[in-house]
Amino acid sequence: MAKTSTGRTTTGRTASQPPPAEHAAAPKVAAETAKAATAAKKPAPPNSASAAAKKVAPTIAAPSKKAAVGAKTPVPQKPAATKVAAPAKSAAATRKTATPPKVDAPKKTAASKPVAKTVAVKKAAPRRTATRVAVPVPAARRGRPIPSVRKAPAKKLTGGGPQVFTVSHLNEADFKPDGLRPYAQYRDLGIAAATAGLCQAHVIRLVPPCTDEVRKRHVHQTELQLVYVLKGWMKNEFEGHGEQMMSVGSCWLQPTGIKHTVLDYSPDCEVLEIIVPADFKTEELA
């Protein structure tokens, strides 16, 4: 680098070297621009105005490319965004809906009330009392008067004293051969003592085998005799009803005085017998 007399520093060239082409062309561009300005001040003839403008326009519009090399091109700025005002709300939208005024119901007047109609009511004629005429019944159709039936008063089944509470639980030792039939064992449930002789209840175990002594025909004079099979089975014959096979769950009632016979029973046959009264009579038939 070399310093000039003016104190400026030149890079890579001497003072005697000619300036670059760009700096040499600058005076020419300035001279042309001045000529164009003076020509514009002179009044141009009417016909030559457009021609002069055409000559001047290229000269001004087309500057040398070399002169524009060192100049900085201005950066175009973006136009500021313009705010668009929102459209004003219409008066119809901003206007509140007016509430319709309440209309009072029309008042009822005397003329609007329904007029009651008067209806004439005719009284019915009084009913005549019908007179019944007795029709004579032939003597052949006349029946004999039915005599009134009087029921005999029922006997009160009461024992000799008040009844007491009692309970009996199963105990094999309670089965004893001290009952009516010598071929059976009886377990007394204590009902006769609790009812003062009103009722008797016992469980009977029939002892096998069934012999001719068991098959004797007989009757009982009782007011009630009910039998229920607990175990096994038992075959009997009743007068007017023939032979009946009783098994577990079978129950029957023997009316007083009915003739019956024990025909057969299983080795484990066991029945519950309830008799009213506790003391009753048994008759064997030939």
Domain that holds residue 264: 172-284
Dihedral sign from CA coordinates of 199, 202, 207, 208: positive
Euclidean distance between CA atoms 66 and 23, whole angstroms: 9
Total domains, the chain: 2
Domain boundary among 59, 82, 108: 59
Confirm if 52 and 44 have CB atoms less than 8 A apart. yes
Per the prediction, the chain carries an average pLDDT of 72
Confidence grade of residue 278 (pLDDT, cut at 50, 70, 90): very high
Task: Mean pLDDT check: name the lowest of 110-114, 120-124, 181-185, 239-243.
Answer: 110-114
- In-domain check, residue 76: no
- In-domain check, residue 48: yes
Give residue-wise pLDDT tens across range 246-277: 999 999 999 999 999 999 999 999 999 999 99
- In-domain check, residue 103: no
Residue 280: give its domain's CATH number. 2.60.120.10
Give residue-wise pLDDT tens across range 62-102: 444 444 444 455 555 655 555 555 555 554 444 555 555 56
> What is the pTM (predicted TM-score) of this model?
0.47
- In-domain check, residue 278: yes
- In-domain check, residue 244: yes
- Between 162 and 104, the more confident residue is 162
- In-domain check, residue 210: yes
Confidence grade of residue 32 (pLDDT, cut at 50, 70, 90): confident
Domain boundary among 11, 31, 59: 59
- Between 74 and 189, the more confident residue is 189
Q: 197, exposed or middle or buried, with CB in 10 Å at 0-12, 13-18, 19+?
A: middle
Domain boundary among 10, 35, 59: 59
Euclidean distance between CA atoms 149 and 61, whole angstroms: 157
- In-domain check, residue 4: no
Question: Going edge to edge, which strands form the sheet with 224-231?
Answer: 175-176, 184-188, 200-206, 270-276, 224-231, 251-253
- In-domain check, residue 268: yes
